[in-house]
Amino acid sequence: MAEVDSRFLLRVALHTAEQGMFVFPLWPRTKVPALHGADQCSGLGVCAHGHQGWEARATRDPELIRRWWRNWPLNIGVAAGRSGLHVLDLDSAHDAMPPREWAGARDGWDVLARVAGRAGQPFPGDTYAVRTPSGGFHLYFGAPPLVELRNTVARLGWRVDSRGSGGYVVAAGSLRPQGRYDLVADRPIAALPAWLVPLLLPPPFLEPPVDQAPTGWYQAGAVSEVRKNAYLQTIHDKVAATPSGERHHVLIRAAYTLGRLVGGGDLDAQEARDCLHAAASRWRGRLSRKDIRTIEDGLRAGAERGRSLAS
């Protein structure tokens, strides 16, 4: 049995890596990482220059995967952040009653449906999805490009967690005593819907749009980096989602807006340019010379009327 499982799980690990995910071994029939932890580090081999945890060691290299999975029926961990993923983890109720705020919800799926309803958005279910042995679901999404999303626990609501940077999920095909992780929707992994991004950021970063932001919300230091990136993400998503008839207009306004922040010293010109180039190249799969010119014109005009987010 173990031998059959071992061959099967090796194939699953290779297949998962072929799909672009970084994998690492979990002990058989568990979700516990099988690579040594920092407390048991010998400081040898891969750890010769400091301990390497599962996130750093997760791989897509078929040779390494064959070596890891050769003799053991190991489960497969997917390093979410390393793989560019943010995975929504919709748990079952586990026989518990929801708190009053979520009264009537049966599980995390119901709660996410309500969160989407309140936001006036469709249920974000059109993506790669795995059912867990305990009856929950993992919805896989591409993480947003400009802001780092870490793991969340119940931030979206009761029984809704998520796994991003610093987190992992058990891959489809893995075995637990209760059953298997089943791929129930083999769809392409969708980008995380833009409306979910601010809801997944830590609460202090739920800021009003910059034009209505109260004085002083943007402060120097490490925190401002996260806020700045969230702001760039918002601009990026707005520009990228613009329908074809309005693109020139929206792009010049976005460039002008970011140009003012460059002029005020809150933003590096290259960061502004990178954000707008990334957004506009989503329209036709590449940047046109006209878009590049529009961006430069907007940035230059904005920089002449510099403003700071802090004032």
The nearest distance, CB 247 to Zn ion, in angstroms, is 50
Interacting residue with Zn ion among 14, 47, 190, 226 (CB under 5 A): 47
- Contact call for residue 51 and Zn ion (CB under 5 A): yes
**How far apart, in whole angstroms, are the C-alpha atoms of residue 259 and residue 262?**
5
- Strands 152-157 and 160-163 come out as antiparallel
Distances (CA, A) of 164 to 36, 78, 85, 119: 21, 10, 6, 22
Residue 14 or residue 47: which is nearer to Zn ion going by CB?
A: 47
**H/E stretch holding 168:** strand 168-170
**How far apart, in whole angstroms, are the C-alpha atoms of residue 73 and residue 50?**
28
- Contact call for residue 238 and Zn ion (CB under 5 A): no
User: HSE on the CB side for 26, CA within 13 Å?
Assistant: 21
Residue 36 or residue 238: which is nearer to Zn ion going by CB?
A: 36
The nearest distance, CB 51 to Zn ion, in angstroms, is 4
The nearest distance, CB 49 to Zn ion, in angstroms, is 10
Among 41-49, 140-148, 172-180, 279-287, which window interacts with Zn ion (CB under 5 A)?
Answer: 41-49
Among 40-48, 136-144, 156-164, 227-235, which window interacts with Zn ion (CB under 5 A)?
Answer: 40-48
Interacting residue with Zn ion among 14, 34, 41, 269 (CB under 5 A): 41
The nearest distance, CB 57 to Zn ion, in angstroms, is 9
**Reading across the β-sheet that carries 23-26, which strands appear in turn?**
23-26, 75-79, 168-170
Residue 43 or residue 214: which is nearer to Zn ion going by CB?
A: 43
The nearest distance, CB 56 to Zn ion, in angstroms, is 10
User: HSE on the CB side for 132, CA within 13 Å?
Assistant: 20
How many residues bind to Zn ion according to rule CB under 5 A? 3
Phi, psi angle pair for 131, to nearest 5°: -95, 135
Residues at the contact surface with Zn ion, assessed by CB under 5 A: 41, 47, 51
